Chains A and B, each alone.
Chain A
Amino acid sequence: AQSVTQPDIHITVSEGASLELRCNYSYGATPYLFWYVQSPGQGLQLLLKYFSGDTLVQGIKGFEAEFKRSQSSFNLRKPSVHWSDAAEYFCAVDRTGGGNKLTFGTGTQLKVEL
């Protein structure tokens, strides 16, 4: 079935350490790709997006993501994590690339140890 996979349900990192959150999709064509972050009791905040072009995209809060077509992946990275980055992170796909519905991964809960 066509889907979005975030294989890590929980990740714990130390403050100042680097972070990589994985996302894979199984659609045939290259969809539009997004990462969102959700803090407790809050809605979803867009971190970054990929539509086409340069495969390394920069987002807010120091996050970046790299699209790898050969691996059908769109992994989120941050060189140095801050305690305030603790939240849940969702990868999302607009598989039609037409601004239609998003299909979300199951999310990765990030815990930051001080």
Chain B
Amino acid sequence: GAGVSQSPSNKVTEKGKDVELRCDPISGHTALYWYRQSLGQGLEFLIYFQGNSAPDKSGLPSDRFSAERTGGSVSTLTIQRTQQEDSAVYLCASRGISYEQYFGPGTRLTVT
């Protein structure tokens, strides 16, 4: 079946602009996660959704970052007033009834 998909695959934006990153999880997966991968920080957890609620948003680095999930499916990660340090690959993962997380291909964000 289809895996986790993310869009766009690449995004270049100017400092100070807002960006939205989208994640489509595997159909039927109730849990959804956002991670960030950067050279300096490695792979970092951002936020976790169970259904439409976010029981763990402890990894969001600042209040410029927010995420939502609607209909227990698609999720959007929004970064407001982007900064150069936001440049990274943003990875989305989903999980079904087991404990394995399946990752999408990521969105590479470059802030100029």
Contacts and interface: CB of A to CB of B under 8 A. Distances in A.
A30 interface: no
A56 to B, nearest CB: 18
A100 B48 contact: yes
B contact face: mostly helix, strand, loop, or mixed: strand
Nearest to B9: A41
Interface stretch (A21-29, A64-72, A103-111): A103-111
A90 B43 contact: yes
A32 interface: yes
A56 B59 CA distance: 32
Interface residues of A, number: 23
A45 B103 CA distance: 7
A44 B37 CA distance: 11
Nearest to B6: A43
Interface residues of B, number: 21
A58 to B, nearest CB: 15
B23 to A, nearest CB: 11
Nearest to A32: B99
Given A34-B100, A46-B100, A101 B105 contact: no
B25 interface: no
A53 interface: no
B48 A101 contact: yes
Contact of A106 (B33, B42, B95, B104): B42
A99 B103 CA distance: 14
30 contacts: A34-B100, A36-B103, A42-B105, A43-B104, A43-B105, A44-B103, A45-B103, A46-B100, A46-B101, A46-B102, A49-B99, A49-B100, A51-B99, A90-B43, A92-B43, A94-B99, A97-B99, A99-B31, A99-B95, A100-B48, A101-B45, A101-B56, A101-B59, A102-B33, A102-B43, A102-B101, A104-B42, A105-B42, A106-B42, A107-B42
